[in-house]
Amino acid sequence: MVATLTAERRTPSSHTALGAHHIDAVTDEQADAIHHACPRLEMVRSLTDAIVAQAAKDPRNAPRYSIPGEFLRERGEFGQTRLEYACRSSR
């Protein structure tokens, strides 16, 4: 109740943040409409491409078990990272 009252005095984004727990209640048709109106623009792939390109320049940029190192390894072994796979398979 306190969080709701506090959010009422804040910006509309506060209301969105508090209401975000309802996002799982959308239907597949609604999710498709949302993604059509507000596409992701391959954000995850673009960011991963930049990280992998930097990691590939020098082995010191991509130590094992670091995010750049694992992205580089996963791209080499599987063609995509687990993050990219998870984003593509979610709505």
User: Which residue in the block uniquely carries the two structure tokens 């082995």?
Assistant: 59
Q: Is the pLDDT of residue 7 over 90?
A: no
Nearest to 68 by CA among 86, 50, 80: 50
Q: Is the pLDDT of residue 13 over 80?
A: no
Distance of CA 15 to the CA centre of its chain: 21
**Where does 1-91 have alpha helices with state H?**
2-8, 12-19, 28-37, 43-57, 67-78, 82-89
Per-domain residue ranges of the chain: 2-37, 43-89
The answer to whether 32 and 47 are in contact (CB under 8 A) is no
Instruction: Select the more confidently predicted residue: 4 or 68.
Output: 68
Q: What is the pLDDT of residue 66?
A: 96
